[in-house]
Amino acid sequence: MENFTKKAALQQHLAKLKADGAVITFVPTLGALHQGHLSLIQQAQQLGNVVVCSIFVNPTQFNDPKDLEKYPRPIRDDIKKLEQVNCDVLFNPDVTEMYASNEKWHLDIGELEGLLEGKFRPSHYQGVTQVVYKLFNIVKPDIALFGQKDYQQFLVIQKMVDTLKLPVELVMCPIVREPDGLAMSSRNIHLLPADRQHALILSKTLNKIKQGFNPDNIAQLKQQAEAAISNEPGVELAYFEIADGDTLHPANRNTKNIVALIAAKVGKTRLIDNVVLVSP
């Protein structure tokens, strides 16, 4: 694997490959890689010739400085994992390579800005679009892959691509879970053993909703889910929504694309998860 920390060197490397006709696929990450990230790399390998993975803990998307500080950064292990799955290129810049001081950014992402995650993490999606825009400009991928795990993030990035007419195709990849159902996340290492058990209420509730899903009972199902999560010790629900998968507004019986989304704090760790209930 070729490992770059400087954008100019990476761009030079990729320009040569593109001149030879390579299709570049791209998987941006914050690192602390797990099987969920690696599944994105493997899916990227099916779609192109050269897979670029970026590892960059982007400060502008963290609302909480403590969260940023304690975000895991096991770069040596990450490199080993990427080599094991034959990733072609790693881009691992530091903050000064990505940002000049006092940079400004604002992108109109419409209502997605203030809904669900946007409501609980103000300015988060401005930081996400800021860094993904920069990364797309550096890598110039043909295809970029993102996880369904961050469902709203995918919608926000698609909105950016559409608004700015960026020449990249986005692909959403399924959520990879632990054998007991917990969605894999770099933040799971912060869960204490008891919290790790309590955290299962998220995937269990989503599963239950999926199994018994009836679009005529959305209000009742939502109430039951909220009660189940709130009754779990150590779990503080931020939101549970059965939403239109395109707009994230509450779904109704006529909605064509329905997703259930959860965010909750388990112990000190904030987790998110979701499941598609009806796809168009």
Catalytic residues: 37
Nearest CA among 107, 102, 179 for reference residue 136: 107
Give the span between the Cα atoms of 27 and 179, in whole angstroms. 24
Closest to ligand AMP by CB, 27 or 229: 27
CB contact set of 40 (below 8 Å; sequence gap of 6+)? 27, 29, 145, 146, 147, 173
Convert residues 107-146 into a mask of x (bound to ligand AMP by CB under 6 A) and - (unbound): ---------------------------------------x
Closest to ligand AMP by CB, 72 or 215: 72
Q: Which of 40, 87, 160, 229 binds ligand AMP (CB under 6 A)?
A: 40
Q: Which of 24, 184, 235, 277 binds ligand AMP (CB under 6 A)?
A: 184
Q: Does 273 bind ligand AMP (CB under 6 A)?
A: no
* Count of residues interacting with ligand AMP (CB under 6 A): 17
Closest to ligand AMP by CB, 139 or 221: 139
Q: Minimum distance between the CB of residue 246 and ligand AMP, rounded to whole angstroms?
A: 18
Q: Does 29 bind ligand AMP (CB under 6 A)?
A: yes
The region of 99-107, 129-137, 147-155, 199-207 touching ligand AMP under the rule CB under 6 A is 147-155
Q: Does 201 bind ligand AMP (CB under 6 A)?
A: no
Residues that bind ligand AMP (CB under 6 A): 29-30, 36-37, 39-40, 146-147, 149-150, 173, 175-176, 183-186
